[in-house]
Each structure stands twice: as C-alpha cells, then as structure tokens.
Chains A and B, each alone.
Chain A
Amino acid sequence: MTKLERVLVVDDEQDIQAIAKLSLERVGGLETLICSSGREAIDKVQVFAPNIILLDVMMPGLDGPATLSILKEKGLVTNIPVVFFTAKVLDKEIEELHSCGAFDVISKPFDPMKLPSILEDIWRRSQ
C-alpha cells in the first residue's frame, strides 16, 4: 500500500483554501495543491497526481458533482478516491452525493487540527 502523500483540494473560498492548506501541510505534512475551480482541478489533476481529492460541492461555474462527472468521464480519477467537502446537509443529500460516485463526504465546518487524520482514515479505507 502506498502512503498518503498528495492531496488536491478544490474550493473557491479563499479562507477555506488557506486553512485547509495550513492544516494539511503543517499539521498533516501532506503535499497540498489548491485549485479554485473545478476547471482548474481538471487541468491539473493528471500532473499533480494526488492520492486523494477533496472537492467542494457548491462552487460557481462547475460545481462539485459536475466536476466529478467530468473527471470520471475523462478517466482522470480511476484510482483516486474523491471526497466531497460540504456544509452540513440532510442525510438525503449525502446519499445523493454518494450516488454521484464520491468515495465519502466530509462535512464542514471541520477542525483544522483533525482534517489530516480524517483524510488518512478515508484513504486507508479506499485501499
């Protein structure tokens, strides 16, 4: 089993980008690439080759589910678990997100000190 090393985070909010980067890099020691849009993530995923993708659901332009479906269509995430990242939602919506093909759903707000270990757990389960 390879180690969790690189995380791609897709979120359009600057503050969330900053705190996620800080949390993953400094607390978790993970290499982190932040993309501000689904489009950017689609462009960069192949080169960055993340082990896991954290994808915000609600974004202007391409939203999370639309980004995921393009990623899947282009065969860019065959071996990469994609985790949705979203504000607390109803159980029904979580089910819907799972049915889009997400490996898991993490709810915001999140604790920056714990995010890396949550991702580690998800990553281990995906292997």
Chain B
Amino acid sequence: MNKKIVSGLAIAAATTLALGVVVASPASAAKKTSVTLAFQGPLTGPDAQLGQDQFPGAEWAIALYNAKKPAVKINLIKADSQCDGTVAANIAPGVAANKAVIGVIGTSCSGEARNSFPAYKAAGLTMVAPSASAVSLSDPKAPDRGFPIFHRVVAHDGFQAPALVRYATKGVSSPKIYLVDDQTTYGAGLIKYALAPAKKIGVVGTDSVPRGTADWSSVASKVKASSANVVIYGGYTVEAAKFFKALRDGGYTGILAAGDGVNTSDFPDLAGKAAEGVRLTAADVPFDSLLTAAELASFQKITGVKVPGLYSATAYNAAQVFITCIEMGKLTRPAIQSCVNNTTFTGAGGSKIKFNRYGDIIGGADVGGYLVKNGKIIYDAIA
C-alpha cells in the first residue's frame, strides 16, 4: 500500500480520535443545543411504501424526546435513496458531509446499506437500520460488511428464511414446496437461506425469474406440473403480484407465501383477488400491539398515520438507540459510535437491544407471520 496514504490515514484517524475526545467532554457538550439525525430509506420510487411505513416510527420517537424540552434537541432530516443502491451511493456522501448529522436511522433496503458504507465508514457515521436484512451486511467474512459503523435492530434473513418456510408450511399436510427468487441480493439471499430448511420438508422445484418479467405463465405451468402445494417467493411486491395472479389464474389452489419484501400495504391492491390468504413474514411485530391506547393516540396525532406500518417499531427502536446515547451526552460521531457499540438499550415494548461486534442484535429478534384477509395484511402469529 502507498505509504503516504497510510500515514495520511493514521493522521486522520488520530485527529478524529482527538477531536472526538475533546468534543465529547462535558464542557463543549454544553455548547451544543441541537444535533441532527438522518432517516435514510425509500421515500419515493416503486418501493416507497417501505420507507413511508417506517419513517413515522422514528419521527414519533424523536417528537416525544423533543417534547420533554431537553438541553439538546434532535432534528430529523430525510435522505431518500429509493431502495436503490446506485441512488444511495450518490446521496450518502452528502449526508456524511453534513457536520450536524451524528447518526443515520437507516437504511431500509440492503442494497442501500451496502452502497452507503464507504461514505459512512470514512466519516465514522453510525448507522442503525430498521429493516436492511441481507446476511452479508453483518457477516465478518463478507467483503462488503458494514463493520464497524453498521447496526440493525432487525433479525437478518438467516432467521427470517427458516421462519418463512415454517410459516408457509404450517398446517399443510405433506407439503411440497416450490421456491422462486427474483435474482436480487435480497430475494436470492432469502431463498438461499430458505432452501436448507425447505429441503428437510420436501422441495419439488425451484426457479429464478428476473425482475421486470411480465409473463409468468410458464412458471405457473411448471408449478402445476410439479404438483407443489406450497409456493414461496423471494422478492418484492410488484413481481409477487404478477406471479401470484398468474398462478391463481392458472388454477393453482395451494399456499402462496413470501418474505418481508412483499409485506407492503400496496400488495393487496396490486395482486387483487390473488392476494387473499397469502402468507407473509417480517422480522417485526406490529407497532400498535406494543403500544398502550394513549401511546397509539399520541403516535396518530404526531405522525398523522392511523395504523402504524410495517417496521415502524424497528424504526422507533433505531431512533431510540440514538436518543439514549444523546441523553447520555454523547453528541459527536465517535462518541455515538462507542455508545451504540457498548450500551444496552430499551426498545418498544420493553425489549432489550444490545449489538454484537458486527452490528446484529444479540439474541436475534422474533419473526412475525402475516396473512392477507379481505384485502388487508393482518398480523397472525409468531412465525
């Protein structure tokens, strides 16, 4: 490696460390009256529902904190990376360059997280993600891991995939599983981790269909020929809607199931009748089931959202992580980073959150099972 770069890095690191120590001291902390957190996720684009559902969780947590008239107020800004890694790579440097930002609540999608890492690692900006679930993000062996800045308050797909298989085959006598993925990092990853548990039950076929495919009739024919009675799809809402419609129109009567990529409130609209009875999972339990009536009323009043969406609980928890550190007087990026790494936090419903070295929650998190009934996605049980 180039010696100049190495020594440059060393100086930079030393300066950051020194500054961190100085700024974190109580004397200068007293000067700060406000800090900024950024929420990063899809707020527009095809997957906008994902981010739109999560944002209110963070918004509410911070509004509650600011309402207590603390010495240091928190501003929340939005960074829209559209669930798209390319967009994320473009906006992350801007967020990192904003000196006021001391932490990122995000991202929603795994591709966004991965492509934001270079900018945030260089800036020492800590991330706490509400729903980025690809296993590789926290895999010590993966070249694109987010260590040391990445954390997530959601169980990764290594937990979700087996739960999805369990939930999809629940109550089915002699299940014959057909697995289909969408060739994305998330979809292919989810099915990869679903394959092993599914094989123990019985897999009759697999397929891998690129996003943007309009005609799913040949896949439907294959599923029919395989006489499968459980179809599990790893991918996102739009494609799932086309696939499930083609299956139902082709006369398939078995179980349809998919992961959290399909668990968005627009899925029943897009899939129409074919959405009925579809089984979905998410590493999240509904936020309203964790709140008291008074808390729910306050949530509705502050955010203007009637029913908290998917992953608003984890977004709330992610915000809570930062709020706790800010309450402890950690007001700089390095101070926040060491605080997030070393503290045990309390999330919604009193759950305890502590991160391991690579940013995953110690002890994992529950995976919820959801059902589509009368055009609405409803929470069913722990999957």
A and B: partners? no
